[in-house]
Structure 1
């Protein structure tokens, strides 16, 4: 990097490959491709440059024309950088459920961000981008179908990998599917020039769209016609939208994938934190997810195998997500003890302050949160209320069950954008714990009565007791009362329950 560049765009690519030390299993070589070293912090900087310059070359993008794309964030951030440098106005369409940091970064770079309802998922934001492009004559980059997305990875990322490993690829290459551009672009080069390299694609274990073999229904233009039937919410932003992108389907259809490795959301979150704490690698949730997949690969790989996994972005755009749930901004007890071990610049007074600090820590949540919960569970207009998380598969199971039962309900999503304001989502969780004695989510109430969590509600129906609670609340389901509620649980839990 010791040179002068004529444009920030010239710094895209040539990201480092770093060998893990503390997290690597014995007799294995684990390597991370760190895409956070791109100027705007993610692998999608490559995509953004590739699709814009391809459109400039073939004339589809005219000088000064507005660019539009539907994205979970990283592609939009990369496009905002490229469009800022090249002078194109940019409009981003993004579901409201994605992290606040991402939309702020795009707006900081001059883009306009149009939000779509979380319930409409990825297909909804794609449909909105399509409508806006058609109405206003804007250039839609179509990251999920655009072959220029894969092409730039064939020209750059794949070549960097081959060079890093001495001209031949690693024994295993592990990546998430995402748009399919990284997967298709790298895999086809490795398949041609390093035939021994096995290509492993990881996907959320509760969303086995690729592993299922079920095709994605698409429109004539390659965009999704509907959500994939096996999509479920998951915390890996940028992975597995509610459809299989055309570029990913291409990789499947042309035999570029050797194995599909499912990974859990909780394990992905844990390993993202472990990468930071044990290797000093600061990444997002998908970095933890690809590491989780690489560690699974290592369990059956030959000794001495070289396993490369993609780390797509940086952790800074996840501050408002579950990745940082346990990270406090105030000093904890250990930090206060360190501070108090010397006399100067202490926050606490010698005698009374420790007791005051303890009292503050156990202070009840604010009145606003208590009032919100009281009002929600006692609202006669909405007697069924669920305190939930948007990405939680158990909350998703309850939503589907209640909808199929024909039962109107309110879902208060504590990790939604609205609930991030002033930390009210966290305060509501404290209120619920005080009220029910339970820390788990979801928590469900009917007519003011606490039912419990997902399994409690579903079992209540299957035992024939749910109608008693509904009758007391004065509501009658409009759907099929004969459905089996436990069938809505995640398959792994349903199977364990039967056993």
Structure 2
């Protein structure tokens, strides 16, 4: 088997913290890969990234270079229809690696243009109903290209342990900034950010409560039913980087709820972020209100510019029939993933295995 290589501030009001004066970064990657820590309420904080997945993309490339499996000119092939692909394209462009992105129709024209301006070649595949859905189809095409170009390197965001490992530096940054965190809330797609950051934060606070945010139609925390409309979180495959025994509870949110929360995040706090951030904000706000003596941190993965013609567009929302609505009742507590329904639901996962929580084996 061929090995793949694979803020004007009043003078009398000091800032809570500040970056070192006069610091010059070596690249845009170094300048933007860490989040801004922003206080939202008395006990709720946001780790707001410009592009969160830039961090694991850079880290994975670094590790491959150190291991000698990624050398000048090596082709890089990866599956992505969102922010990981963009982060990877930035890193590969800066370091001179030819990049092919295998994606699907979730790559909108604006994102495709940004990727291509960075030199990436984009290949789109369709979901033909095979096991694993669209992600399965994308991974199958990556495998075909691997066989065709055996000298290529595949970052493998879903299964590469360097993905969660990259978030150790975020954990160090958060600990230096906030101290101990009691609860971490984040959307789950590949599992890298929530599992990786939780592992790092638990070095200081082992009892840290990890809340994973998923969406209906995703297979990650149980069987999917229907089409997954809310993209950027959830999955049609189960990534190897999802460490089930790390999660204390799981929430499923609907597109209408998440889009409303995304708008509220901007209206109430001026944070112009994407829908996965809105989903995390919806859940984290609820959790922080119900746990007022706990420090809650939510992950906001990317900014909202990519979504101006969709989530932030009333015409697009009308065309798709999605009416952003708040869920004022809060999540419905369920005892099994099968009971999640199609609105905001909450399950006490209790750091169980997938098999224990779902009464099923992990799908092949």
- For residues 256-295 of structure 1, the aligned pairs below 5 Å read 256-295=246-285
Aligned residues: 301
Q: Tell me: CA distance 1:231–1:62, structure 2 relative to 1, closer, same or farther (3 Å).
A: farther
Q: SS in structure 2 opposite 1:106?
A: helix
Give the superposition deviation at 1:491. 4.1
Give the superposition deviation at 1:153. 0.7
- For residues 453-472 of structure 1, the aligned pairs below 5 Å read none
- Find the partner of 1:320 among 286, 294, 309: 309
Q: SS in structure 1 opposite 2:196?
A: helix
Q: TM-score, normalised by structure 1?
A: 0.57
Structure with greater helix share of residues: 1
| Distance in 2 separating the partners of 1:492 and 1:179 | 22
Residue number in structure 1 paired with 2:98: 89
Give the superposition deviation at 1:210. 4.1
Cα-Cα RMSD: 2.3
8 Å CA contact 2:34–2:52 kept in 1: the answer is no
| Distance in 2 separating the partners of 1:109 and 1:208 | 31
Q: SS in structure 1 opposite 2:202?
A: helix
| 1:175 matches 2:169 | no
- For residues 10-25 of structure 1, the aligned pairs below 5 Å read 10-20=30-40, 24=41
**Alpha-carbon displacement from aligned partner over 1:186-210 (angstroms, at most 9, x marks no partner):** 1112223212321111111x23634
Give the superposition deviation at 1:127. 1.3
Q: SS in structure 2 opposite 1:93?
A: strand
8 Å CA contact 2:211–2:251 kept in 1: the answer is yes
Q: Tell me: CA distance 1:320–1:122, structure 2 relative to 1, closer, same or farther (3 Å).
A: farther
| 1:207 matches 2:227 | no
Residue number in structure 1 paired with 2:299: 310
* Larger CA Rg, structure 1 vs 2: 1
| Distance in 2 separating the partners of 1:211 and 1:70 | 21
- Find the partner of 1:65 among 74, 78, 96: 74
8 Å CA contact 1:101–1:319 kept in 2: the answer is no
8 Å CA contact 1:55–1:61 kept in 2: the answer is yes
Q: SS in structure 1 opposite 2:167?
A: helix
- For residues 57-456 of structure 1, the aligned pairs below 5 Å read 57-118=66-127, 120-137=133-150, 138-154=152-168, 156-166=169-179, 168=180, 170-204=181-215, 206-207=216-217, 209-212=219-222, 229-230=223-224, 232-248=226-242, 251-252=243-244, 255-301=245-291, 303-321=292-310, 323-326=311-314
Give the superposition deviation at 1:185. 1.2
| Distance in 2 separating the partners of 1:311 and 1:159 | 17
| Distance in 1 separating the partners of 2:342 and 2:119 | 45
Q: TM-score, normalised by structure 2?
A: 0.77
Gaps of 5+ in 1: 37-41, 213-228, 328-414, 416-424, 430-438, 442-489, 494-499
Give the superposition deviation at 1:242. 0.5
